[in-house]
Structure 1
Amino acid sequence: MGEELYSIGKVEEICKITKKALRYYDKMGILSPDKVADESGYRYYSKKNLLSVPVIKYYKQSGFKLEEMRSFLKGTTYEFVDKSFRNKIDELKELEREINLKIRSIKDWHDLIIEAQMVLENNICDVTIKYIDNRNLIFLDQDFKYDYMDSIINIEFNNYIDRIDNAITGPVIIRFPSFEDKINGKCTRVTIMQETILRCREEECIQFGGWIAASCYHIGTHETIDETYKKIKEWTKKHGYICSDESYERYVTDYWTTKNTDKFVTEIFIKISRKNK
Protein backbone atom coordinates (compact mmCIF):
# COMPACT_ATOMS: atom_id res chain seq x y z
CA MET A 1 0.00 0.00 0.00
CA GLY A 2 1.47 3.30 -1.11
CA GLU A 3 1.89 6.42 0.98
CA GLU A 4 -1.21 8.60 1.29
CA LEU A 5 -1.15 11.65 -0.97
CA TYR A 6 -2.98 14.92 -0.36
CA SER A 7 -4.57 17.11 -3.01
CA ILE A 8 -3.48 20.75 -3.27
CA GLY A 9 -6.84 21.76 -1.77
CA LYS A 10 -6.26 19.48 1.22
CA VAL A 11 -2.74 20.86 1.68
CA GLU A 12 -4.20 24.36 1.67
CA GLU A 13 -6.60 23.29 4.42
CA ILE A 14 -4.05 21.42 6.54
CA CYS A 15 -1.09 23.82 6.25
CA LYS A 16 -3.02 27.09 6.00
CA ILE A 17 -1.24 28.06 2.81
CA THR A 18 -2.91 29.15 -0.44
CA LYS A 19 -2.95 27.16 -3.65
CA LYS A 20 -1.38 30.16 -5.36
CA ALA A 21 1.57 30.06 -2.96
CA LEU A 22 1.99 26.30 -3.44
CA ARG A 23 2.06 26.69 -7.22
CA TYR A 24 4.61 29.50 -6.88
CA TYR A 25 6.78 27.38 -4.56
CA ASP A 26 6.72 24.65 -7.21
CA LYS A 27 7.73 27.13 -9.91
CA MET A 28 10.63 28.39 -7.73
CA GLY A 29 11.81 24.83 -6.98
CA ILE A 30 11.08 25.22 -3.25
CA LEU A 31 8.28 22.69 -2.79
CA SER A 32 7.15 20.50 -5.65
CA PRO A 33 4.28 17.98 -5.59
CA ASP A 34 5.05 14.28 -5.40
CA LYS A 35 2.64 13.58 -8.21
CA VAL A 36 0.89 15.50 -10.96
CA ALA A 37 -2.04 13.70 -12.60
CA ASP A 38 -1.49 13.29 -16.32
CA GLU A 39 -5.01 14.10 -17.47
CA SER A 40 -6.26 16.63 -14.92
CA GLY A 41 -2.93 18.19 -13.90
CA TYR A 42 -3.98 17.91 -10.23
CA ARG A 43 -1.11 18.12 -7.75
CA TYR A 44 -0.65 15.69 -4.90
CA TYR A 45 1.68 15.92 -1.92
CA SER A 46 2.97 13.34 0.54
CA LYS A 47 2.93 13.87 4.31
CA LYS A 48 6.75 14.04 4.24
CA ASN A 49 6.56 16.81 1.66
CA LEU A 50 3.98 18.69 3.75
CA LEU A 51 6.49 18.87 6.58
CA SER A 52 8.54 21.28 4.46
CA VAL A 53 5.81 23.92 4.83
CA PRO A 54 6.51 24.83 8.50
CA VAL A 55 10.22 25.01 7.65
CA ILE A 56 9.50 27.35 4.73
CA LYS A 57 7.30 29.53 6.96
CA TYR A 58 10.06 29.74 9.57
CA TYR A 59 12.66 30.72 6.99
CA LYS A 60 10.24 33.33 5.65
CA GLN A 61 9.60 34.63 9.19
CA SER A 62 13.37 34.92 9.64
CA GLY A 63 13.70 37.13 6.58
CA PHE A 64 15.01 34.69 4.00
CA LYS A 65 13.91 35.04 0.39
CA LEU A 66 12.65 32.02 -1.53
CA GLU A 67 15.83 31.94 -3.60
CA GLU A 68 17.86 31.75 -0.39
CA MET A 69 15.77 28.89 1.00
CA ARG A 70 16.32 26.60 -1.98
CA SER A 71 19.78 25.41 -0.93
CA PHE A 72 18.71 24.86 2.69
CA LEU A 73 15.70 22.76 1.72
CA LYS A 74 17.62 20.61 -0.74
CA GLY A 75 20.29 19.92 1.85
CA THR A 76 23.69 21.55 2.21
CA THR A 77 26.68 21.76 4.55
CA TYR A 78 26.71 23.29 8.02
CA GLU A 79 29.45 25.62 6.80
CA PHE A 80 27.17 27.00 4.08
CA VAL A 81 24.26 27.40 6.52
CA ASP A 82 26.53 29.10 9.07
CA LYS A 83 27.79 31.63 6.49
CA SER A 84 24.27 32.26 5.16
CA PHE A 85 22.86 32.82 8.63
CA ARG A 86 25.68 35.17 9.61
CA ASN A 87 25.09 37.21 6.45
CA LYS A 88 21.36 37.34 7.15
CA ILE A 89 21.97 38.53 10.73
CA ASP A 90 24.18 41.36 9.41
CA GLU A 91 21.57 42.25 6.80
CA LEU A 92 18.77 42.36 9.38
CA LYS A 93 20.85 44.42 11.80
CA GLU A 94 21.35 47.03 9.09
CA LEU A 95 17.62 46.94 8.34
CA GLU A 96 16.92 47.37 12.06
CA ARG A 97 19.22 50.42 12.15
CA GLU A 98 17.41 51.97 9.20
CA ILE A 99 13.97 51.30 10.70
CA ASN A 100 14.99 52.71 14.10
CA LEU A 101 16.30 55.82 12.36
CA LYS A 102 12.97 56.28 10.57
CA ILE A 103 10.99 55.73 13.77
CA ARG A 104 13.12 58.29 15.64
CA SER A 105 12.76 60.82 12.81
CA ILE A 106 8.99 60.58 12.56
CA LYS A 107 8.49 60.46 16.35
CA ASP A 108 10.53 63.63 16.90
CA TRP A 109 8.61 65.37 14.10
CA HIS A 110 5.30 64.20 15.57
CA ASP A 111 6.32 65.59 18.98
CA LEU A 112 6.86 69.00 17.37
CA ILE A 113 3.42 68.89 15.76
CA ILE A 114 1.82 68.08 19.13
CA GLU A 115 3.79 70.92 20.76
CA ALA A 116 2.62 73.36 18.08
CA GLN A 117 -0.99 72.24 18.46
CA MET A 118 -0.84 72.89 22.22
CA VAL A 119 0.69 76.34 21.67
CA LEU A 120 -1.94 77.28 19.07
CA GLU A 121 -4.93 75.87 20.96
CA ASN A 122 -3.96 77.62 24.19
CA ASN A 123 -2.45 80.73 22.58
CA ILE A 124 0.74 80.30 24.60
CA CYS A 125 2.73 83.45 23.91
CA ASP A 126 3.80 84.75 27.33
CA VAL A 127 7.45 85.28 28.19
CA THR A 128 8.84 82.71 30.64
CA ILE A 129 12.19 81.87 32.22
CA LYS A 130 13.50 78.50 31.13
CA TYR A 131 16.63 76.42 31.70
CA ILE A 132 17.90 75.12 28.37
CA ASP A 133 19.43 71.66 28.67
CA ASN A 134 23.02 71.34 27.55
CA ARG A 135 23.58 69.23 24.45
CA ASN A 136 25.74 69.04 21.34
CA LEU A 137 24.24 69.83 17.95
CA ILE A 138 25.54 69.57 14.41
CA PHE A 139 26.08 73.04 12.95
CA LEU A 140 26.94 75.04 9.87
CA ASP A 141 27.77 78.75 9.68
CA GLN A 142 26.04 80.52 6.80
CA ASP A 143 25.21 83.85 5.25
CA PHE A 144 21.77 85.13 6.19
CA LYS A 145 19.58 87.13 3.82
CA TYR A 146 16.30 87.13 5.79
CA ASP A 147 14.92 84.39 3.55
CA TYR A 148 13.57 82.13 6.29
CA MET A 149 12.38 79.37 3.99
CA ASP A 150 15.81 79.11 2.38
CA SER A 151 17.50 78.99 5.80
CA ILE A 152 15.14 76.48 7.43
CA ILE A 153 14.81 74.09 4.47
CA ASN A 154 18.51 74.43 3.83
CA ILE A 155 20.01 72.64 0.84
CA GLU A 156 23.62 73.38 1.79
CA PHE A 157 23.06 72.15 5.35
CA ASN A 158 21.36 68.96 4.17
CA ASN A 159 24.14 68.30 1.67
CA TYR A 160 26.63 68.70 4.50
CA ILE A 161 24.75 66.13 6.60
CA ASP A 162 24.86 63.70 3.66
CA ARG A 163 28.60 64.25 3.20
CA ILE A 164 29.37 63.32 6.80
CA ASP A 165 27.01 60.33 6.54
CA ASN A 166 24.72 61.36 9.39
CA ALA A 167 21.00 61.98 9.88
CA ILE A 168 19.17 64.92 11.45
CA THR A 169 16.06 65.05 13.61
CA GLY A 170 14.05 67.52 15.66
CA PRO A 171 13.65 71.25 15.04
CA VAL A 172 16.02 73.46 13.11
CA ILE A 173 17.59 76.04 15.43
CA ILE A 174 19.27 79.22 14.18
CA ARG A 175 21.69 81.20 16.33
CA PHE A 176 21.87 84.95 15.71
CA PRO A 177 25.08 86.60 17.07
CA SER A 178 23.16 89.80 17.85
CA PHE A 179 19.40 89.88 18.14
CA GLU A 180 19.52 93.69 17.93
CA ASP A 181 21.23 93.47 14.54
CA LYS A 182 18.76 90.77 13.55
CA ILE A 183 15.63 92.81 14.25
CA ASN A 184 17.24 95.89 12.67
CA GLY A 185 17.92 94.06 9.40
CA LYS A 186 21.71 94.09 9.86
CA CYS A 187 22.37 90.38 10.48
CA THR A 188 24.53 88.80 7.76
CA ARG A 189 25.81 85.55 9.35
CA VAL A 190 24.04 82.86 11.38
CA THR A 191 24.68 79.37 12.69
CA ILE A 192 22.22 76.65 11.70
CA MET A 193 21.98 73.81 14.23
CA GLN A 194 20.09 70.56 14.58
CA GLU A 195 20.24 67.33 16.53
CA THR A 196 21.73 64.26 14.88
CA ILE A 197 20.55 60.69 15.22
CA LEU A 198 24.01 59.19 14.80
CA ARG A 199 27.04 60.16 16.85
CA CYS A 200 29.10 62.89 15.25
CA ARG A 201 32.74 63.87 15.63
CA GLU A 202 33.71 66.51 18.17
CA GLU A 203 34.74 69.03 15.52
CA GLU A 204 31.32 68.73 13.87
CA CYS A 205 29.43 69.71 17.04
CA ILE A 206 28.59 72.94 18.79
CA GLN A 207 27.36 73.25 22.38
CA PHE A 208 23.82 74.46 22.83
CA GLY A 209 22.18 75.13 26.19
CA GLY A 210 23.40 74.93 29.74
CA TRP A 211 22.05 78.40 30.51
CA ILE A 212 18.95 80.32 31.56
CA ALA A 213 16.95 82.05 28.85
CA ALA A 214 13.94 84.25 28.41
CA SER A 215 11.69 82.16 26.21
CA CYS A 216 8.61 83.07 24.21
CA TYR A 217 6.62 81.36 21.47
CA HIS A 218 5.91 83.35 18.34
CA ILE A 219 2.76 82.34 16.49
CA GLY A 220 2.48 83.14 12.80
CA THR A 221 4.69 84.29 9.96
CA HIS A 222 8.40 84.89 10.52
CA GLU A 223 8.03 88.34 9.01
CA THR A 224 6.38 89.56 12.25
CA ILE A 225 8.77 87.83 14.65
CA ASP A 226 10.34 91.16 15.69
CA GLU A 227 7.19 91.85 17.73
CA THR A 228 8.01 88.88 19.96
CA TYR A 229 11.61 90.06 20.37
CA LYS A 230 10.32 93.45 21.56
CA LYS A 231 7.98 91.68 23.98
CA ILE A 232 10.94 89.75 25.45
CA LYS A 233 13.03 92.94 25.73
CA GLU A 234 10.26 94.77 27.60
CA TRP A 235 9.58 91.82 29.89
CA THR A 236 13.23 91.26 30.86
CA LYS A 237 13.75 94.98 31.52
CA LYS A 238 10.65 95.12 33.71
CA HIS A 239 11.73 92.05 35.72
CA GLY A 240 15.35 93.07 36.26
CA TYR A 241 17.14 90.86 33.74
CA ILE A 242 19.93 91.66 31.29
CA CYS A 243 19.76 90.13 27.83
CA SER A 244 22.90 88.79 26.17
CA ASP A 245 23.61 89.75 22.57
CA GLU A 246 22.84 86.41 20.94
CA SER A 247 19.47 84.82 20.41
CA TYR A 248 18.14 81.51 19.14
CA GLU A 249 15.07 80.71 17.11
CA ARG A 250 13.73 77.17 17.42
CA TYR A 251 11.35 76.36 14.59
CA VAL A 252 8.69 74.08 16.07
CA THR A 253 6.51 74.03 12.96
CA ASP A 254 7.38 75.83 9.76
CA TYR A 255 7.70 75.20 6.01
CA TRP A 256 8.63 71.56 6.69
CA THR A 257 5.14 70.91 8.10
CA THR A 258 2.64 73.42 6.68
CA LYS A 259 2.28 76.07 3.99
CA ASN A 260 -0.04 78.10 6.23
CA THR A 261 2.29 80.69 7.77
CA ASP A 262 -0.42 81.69 10.28
CA LYS A 263 0.11 78.26 11.88
CA PHE A 264 3.88 78.58 12.21
CA VAL A 265 5.19 78.22 15.77
CA THR A 266 8.68 79.49 16.65
CA GLU A 267 10.27 79.55 20.07
CA ILE A 268 12.74 82.35 20.76
CA PHE A 269 15.50 82.06 23.36
CA ILE A 270 17.62 84.94 24.65
CA LYS A 271 20.25 84.25 27.31
CA ILE A 272 19.68 86.35 30.41
CA SER A 273 21.31 87.25 33.70
CA ARG A 274 20.22 89.24 36.76
CA LYS A 275 21.11 92.91 37.07
CA ASN A 276 23.55 93.66 39.87
CA LYS A 277 21.81 95.47 42.72
Structure 2
Amino acid sequence: MYTIGQFSKIGKVSTKTLRYYDDIDLLKPIHVDSENQYRYYSDEQVLIILLISELKEYGLKLEEIKVVLDRQNAALLKEFLMNKIAEIDNEMQRNLKLRNLIQSKIIKIESGGNLMETQDLKVELKERETLTVASRRATTSMENISNVIGKVFEDIYHMNLQPSGPVMTVYYDKEFDVENADIEICIPIIKKVSTEKSDNLKEFMGGLTACTTFIGPYSKLGAAYAKVMKWIEENDYKNAGAPYDIYLNGPRTVNNPDQFITEVCFPVIK
Protein backbone atom coordinates (compact mmCIF):
# COMPACT_ATOMS: atom_id res chain seq x y z
CA MET A 1 0.00 0.00 0.00
CA TYR A 2 0.99 3.63 -0.48
CA THR A 3 0.83 6.42 2.07
CA ILE A 4 -1.13 9.52 1.12
CA GLY A 5 2.16 11.35 0.57
CA GLN A 6 3.47 8.65 -1.77
CA PHE A 7 0.14 8.45 -3.58
CA SER A 8 0.05 12.22 -4.09
CA LYS A 9 3.40 11.98 -5.90
CA ILE A 10 2.14 9.12 -8.06
CA GLY A 11 -1.03 10.98 -9.04
CA LYS A 12 0.66 14.40 -9.13
CA VAL A 13 -2.03 15.86 -6.87
CA SER A 14 -1.76 17.41 -3.43
CA THR A 15 -2.64 15.53 -0.26
CA LYS A 16 -5.29 18.22 0.31
CA THR A 17 -6.89 17.24 -3.02
CA LEU A 18 -6.81 13.55 -2.10
CA ARG A 19 -8.58 14.33 1.18
CA TYR A 20 -11.20 16.28 -0.78
CA TYR A 21 -11.66 13.32 -3.16
CA ASP A 22 -12.25 11.20 -0.05
CA ASP A 23 -14.82 13.67 1.32
CA ILE A 24 -16.86 13.68 -1.90
CA ASP A 25 -16.58 9.89 -2.37
CA LEU A 26 -14.68 10.25 -5.62
CA LEU A 27 -11.65 8.25 -4.49
CA LYS A 28 -11.56 6.87 -0.97
CA PRO A 29 -8.42 5.35 0.56
CA ILE A 30 -8.34 1.57 0.73
CA HIS A 31 -7.50 1.77 4.42
CA VAL A 32 -7.56 4.37 7.20
CA ASP A 33 -5.58 3.67 10.36
CA SER A 34 -8.00 3.80 13.28
CA GLU A 35 -5.35 5.19 15.65
CA ASN A 36 -3.69 7.98 13.65
CA GLN A 37 -6.18 8.35 10.76
CA TYR A 38 -3.40 7.89 8.20
CA ARG A 39 -4.76 7.12 4.76
CA TYR A 40 -3.39 4.35 2.54
CA TYR A 41 -3.99 3.56 -1.13
CA SER A 42 -3.63 0.36 -3.17
CA ASP A 43 -1.93 -0.55 -6.44
CA GLU A 44 -5.36 -0.89 -8.05
CA GLN A 45 -6.12 2.77 -7.24
CA VAL A 46 -3.08 4.04 -9.16
CA LEU A 47 -4.89 3.72 -12.49
CA ILE A 48 -7.95 5.44 -10.99
CA ILE A 49 -6.07 8.51 -9.79
CA LEU A 50 -4.25 8.73 -13.12
CA LEU A 51 -7.57 8.58 -14.98
CA ILE A 52 -9.08 11.23 -12.71
CA SER A 53 -6.12 13.54 -13.37
CA GLU A 54 -6.34 12.88 -17.12
CA LEU A 55 -10.05 13.65 -17.28
CA LYS A 56 -9.56 16.82 -15.23
CA GLU A 57 -7.00 17.96 -17.83
CA TYR A 58 -9.70 17.48 -20.48
CA GLY A 59 -11.91 19.86 -18.52
CA LEU A 60 -14.45 17.38 -17.17
CA LYS A 61 -16.13 18.29 -13.90
CA LEU A 62 -15.53 16.16 -10.82
CA GLU A 63 -19.25 15.31 -10.73
CA GLU A 64 -19.00 13.93 -14.26
CA ILE A 65 -15.87 11.95 -13.44
CA LYS A 66 -17.55 10.48 -10.36
CA VAL A 67 -20.57 9.32 -12.35
CA VAL A 68 -18.30 7.65 -14.93
CA LEU A 69 -16.27 5.85 -12.23
CA ASP A 70 -19.36 4.83 -10.25
CA ARG A 71 -21.07 3.39 -13.30
CA GLN A 72 -17.92 2.20 -15.10
CA ASN A 73 -19.67 3.41 -18.24
CA ALA A 74 -17.43 4.03 -21.27
CA ALA A 75 -20.37 5.25 -23.39
CA LEU A 76 -21.17 7.91 -20.81
CA LEU A 77 -17.54 9.01 -20.75
CA LYS A 78 -17.61 9.30 -24.53
CA GLU A 79 -20.72 11.50 -24.29
CA PHE A 80 -19.04 13.81 -21.76
CA LEU A 81 -15.93 14.04 -23.94
CA MET A 82 -17.98 14.82 -27.06
CA ASN A 83 -19.75 17.58 -25.15
CA LYS A 84 -16.37 18.97 -24.13
CA ILE A 85 -15.22 18.97 -27.77
CA ALA A 86 -18.36 20.93 -28.71
CA GLU A 87 -17.58 23.47 -25.96
CA ILE A 88 -14.01 23.81 -27.22
CA ASP A 89 -15.21 24.29 -30.81
CA ASN A 90 -17.63 27.02 -29.70
CA GLU A 91 -14.90 28.72 -27.71
CA MET A 92 -12.58 28.57 -30.72
CA GLN A 93 -15.24 30.25 -32.86
CA ARG A 94 -15.73 32.98 -30.26
CA ASN A 95 -11.97 33.51 -30.04
CA LEU A 96 -11.69 33.67 -33.83
CA LYS A 97 -14.42 36.32 -33.99
CA LEU A 98 -12.69 38.25 -31.23
CA ARG A 99 -9.35 37.99 -33.05
CA ASN A 100 -10.92 39.35 -36.23
CA LEU A 101 -12.46 42.27 -34.32
CA ILE A 102 -9.12 43.09 -32.71
CA GLN A 103 -7.33 42.86 -36.05
CA SER A 104 -9.92 45.18 -37.58
CA LYS A 105 -9.36 47.68 -34.76
CA ILE A 106 -5.58 47.54 -35.32
CA ILE A 107 -6.06 48.24 -39.03
CA LYS A 108 -8.23 51.27 -38.24
CA ILE A 109 -5.63 52.59 -35.79
CA GLU A 110 -2.86 52.13 -38.35
CA SER A 111 -4.89 53.99 -40.95
CA GLY A 112 -5.21 57.00 -38.66
CA GLY A 113 -8.64 56.27 -37.23
CA ASN A 114 -9.89 57.83 -34.02
CA LEU A 115 -9.57 55.99 -30.73
CA MET A 116 -13.35 56.25 -30.24
CA GLU A 117 -15.41 55.94 -33.41
CA THR A 118 -18.54 57.99 -33.84
CA GLN A 119 -21.39 58.02 -36.34
CA ASP A 120 -23.60 60.91 -37.35
CA LEU A 121 -26.77 59.20 -36.14
CA LYS A 122 -30.06 60.87 -37.02
CA VAL A 123 -33.28 60.13 -35.15
CA GLU A 124 -36.61 60.26 -36.95
CA LEU A 125 -40.23 59.55 -36.07
CA LYS A 126 -41.92 56.71 -37.94
CA GLU A 127 -45.49 55.46 -37.84
CA ARG A 128 -45.13 51.67 -37.86
CA GLU A 129 -47.79 49.35 -39.24
CA THR A 130 -49.12 46.46 -37.18
CA LEU A 131 -47.47 43.24 -38.38
CA THR A 132 -48.35 39.57 -38.14
CA VAL A 133 -45.24 37.86 -36.78
CA ALA A 134 -43.96 34.47 -35.73
CA SER A 135 -42.38 34.94 -32.34
CA ARG A 136 -40.68 33.31 -29.38
CA ARG A 137 -39.98 34.96 -26.04
CA ALA A 138 -37.08 33.65 -23.98
CA THR A 139 -34.78 34.50 -21.10
CA THR A 140 -31.36 33.73 -22.49
CA SER A 141 -27.79 34.94 -22.90
CA MET A 142 -27.02 37.43 -25.63
CA GLU A 143 -24.76 34.84 -27.28
CA ASN A 144 -27.72 32.47 -27.59
CA ILE A 145 -30.07 34.87 -29.40
CA SER A 146 -29.10 33.41 -32.79
CA ASN A 147 -30.38 30.01 -31.61
CA VAL A 148 -33.75 31.53 -30.70
CA ILE A 149 -33.89 33.16 -34.13
CA GLY A 150 -33.24 29.76 -35.70
CA LYS A 151 -36.14 28.23 -33.75
CA VAL A 152 -38.52 30.93 -34.99
CA PHE A 153 -37.50 30.21 -38.59
CA GLU A 154 -38.17 26.51 -37.86
CA ASP A 155 -41.65 27.43 -36.60
CA ILE A 156 -42.32 29.37 -39.80
CA TYR A 157 -41.21 26.38 -41.89
CA HIS A 158 -43.34 23.89 -39.93
CA MET A 159 -46.42 26.13 -40.29
CA ASN A 160 -45.79 26.33 -44.06
CA LEU A 161 -45.53 30.13 -43.91
CA GLN A 162 -43.18 32.65 -45.50
CA PRO A 163 -41.18 35.49 -43.87
CA SER A 164 -42.13 38.93 -45.16
CA GLY A 165 -39.60 41.14 -43.38
CA PRO A 166 -36.38 41.29 -41.36
CA VAL A 167 -35.83 39.73 -37.95
CA MET A 168 -36.65 41.88 -34.92
CA THR A 169 -35.51 41.51 -31.30
CA VAL A 170 -37.59 43.11 -28.54
CA TYR A 171 -35.87 43.83 -25.20
CA TYR A 172 -38.13 43.75 -22.13
CA ASP A 173 -35.55 44.13 -19.34
CA LYS A 174 -35.40 47.43 -17.48
CA GLU A 175 -31.73 46.72 -16.75
CA PHE A 176 -29.42 44.95 -19.18
CA ASP A 177 -28.34 41.41 -18.22
CA VAL A 178 -26.01 39.80 -20.75
CA GLU A 179 -26.54 36.28 -19.35
CA ASN A 180 -30.30 36.43 -18.68
CA ALA A 181 -31.85 38.82 -21.17
CA ASP A 182 -35.65 38.85 -21.44
CA ILE A 183 -36.06 39.05 -25.21
CA GLU A 184 -38.58 38.22 -27.90
CA ILE A 185 -37.65 37.31 -31.46
CA CYS A 186 -40.26 38.40 -34.02
CA ILE A 187 -40.22 37.67 -37.74
CA PRO A 188 -42.94 39.21 -39.97
CA ILE A 189 -44.81 36.68 -42.08
CA ILE A 190 -47.22 36.64 -44.97
CA LYS A 191 -50.44 36.00 -43.05
CA LYS A 192 -52.24 32.83 -44.09
CA VAL A 193 -53.69 31.64 -40.79
CA SER A 194 -55.34 33.20 -37.76
CA THR A 195 -53.00 34.16 -34.95
CA GLU A 196 -55.48 32.55 -32.56
CA LYS A 197 -54.60 29.10 -33.94
CA SER A 198 -50.96 29.16 -32.88
CA ASP A 199 -49.04 30.12 -29.76
CA ASN A 200 -46.14 31.20 -31.98
CA LEU A 201 -48.10 33.76 -34.02
CA LYS A 202 -49.13 37.21 -32.81
CA GLU A 203 -49.91 40.74 -33.89
CA PHE A 204 -46.92 43.02 -33.38
CA MET A 205 -48.57 46.35 -32.68
CA GLY A 206 -47.52 49.34 -34.73
CA GLY A 207 -47.56 52.97 -33.73
CA LEU A 208 -45.26 55.94 -33.36
CA THR A 209 -41.57 55.11 -32.92
CA ALA A 210 -38.35 57.07 -32.59
CA CYS A 211 -35.74 55.33 -34.72
CA THR A 212 -32.14 55.56 -35.86
CA THR A 213 -30.10 53.40 -38.22
CA PHE A 214 -26.75 52.14 -37.00
CA ILE A 215 -24.00 50.63 -39.17
CA GLY A 216 -21.54 48.43 -37.33
CA PRO A 217 -21.22 45.46 -34.96
CA TYR A 218 -23.95 44.67 -32.46
CA SER A 219 -21.50 45.26 -29.60
CA LYS A 220 -21.59 49.00 -30.38
CA LEU A 221 -25.37 49.40 -30.63
CA GLY A 222 -25.28 51.21 -27.30
CA ALA A 223 -24.38 54.41 -29.17
CA ALA A 224 -27.65 54.18 -31.12
CA TYR A 225 -29.65 53.51 -27.94
CA ALA A 226 -28.08 56.52 -26.22
CA LYS A 227 -28.86 58.74 -29.23
CA VAL A 228 -32.53 57.77 -29.37
CA MET A 229 -33.02 58.00 -25.59
CA LYS A 230 -31.49 61.48 -25.54
CA TRP A 231 -33.67 62.56 -28.48
CA ILE A 232 -36.82 61.33 -26.71
CA GLU A 233 -35.97 63.33 -23.61
CA GLU A 234 -35.00 66.51 -25.49
CA ASN A 235 -38.14 66.47 -27.64
CA ASP A 236 -40.61 65.88 -24.80
CA TYR A 237 -41.67 62.38 -25.84
CA LYS A 238 -42.18 59.42 -23.50
CA ASN A 239 -41.41 55.73 -23.87
CA ALA A 240 -44.51 53.76 -24.80
CA GLY A 241 -43.19 50.20 -24.90
CA ALA A 242 -40.16 47.94 -25.06
CA PRO A 243 -37.43 48.99 -27.53
CA TYR A 244 -36.57 46.69 -30.39
CA ASP A 245 -33.93 46.18 -33.06
CA ILE A 246 -34.66 45.50 -36.72
CA TYR A 247 -31.80 43.66 -38.45
CA LEU A 248 -31.76 45.05 -41.98
CA ASN A 249 -28.87 42.70 -42.65
CA GLY A 250 -26.64 40.55 -40.47
CA PRO A 251 -24.36 37.50 -40.21
CA ARG A 252 -26.54 35.51 -42.61
CA THR A 253 -25.85 37.94 -45.45
CA VAL A 254 -22.76 39.96 -44.46
CA ASN A 255 -19.39 38.59 -43.30
CA ASN A 256 -17.98 41.84 -41.89
CA PRO A 257 -19.66 43.05 -38.64
CA ASP A 258 -18.66 46.62 -39.55
CA GLN A 259 -21.24 46.38 -42.34
CA PHE A 260 -24.17 45.20 -40.19
CA ILE A 261 -27.15 47.56 -40.53
CA THR A 262 -29.56 47.72 -37.58
CA GLU A 263 -32.52 49.98 -37.00
CA VAL A 264 -33.04 50.78 -33.32
CA CYS A 265 -36.64 51.64 -32.44
CA PHE A 266 -38.35 53.02 -29.32
CA PRO A 267 -42.17 53.19 -29.22
CA VAL A 268 -43.09 56.67 -28.02
CA ILE A 269 -46.02 58.93 -27.19
CA LYS A 270 -46.12 62.73 -26.89
Using structure 2 for the length normalisation, give the TM-score: 0.50
Structure with greater strand share of residues: 1
- Which is greater in Rg? 1
Using structure 1 for the length normalisation, give the TM-score: 0.49
Which structure exhibits the higher relative contact order, with contacts defined as CA atoms closer than 8 Å and separated by 6 or more residues? 1
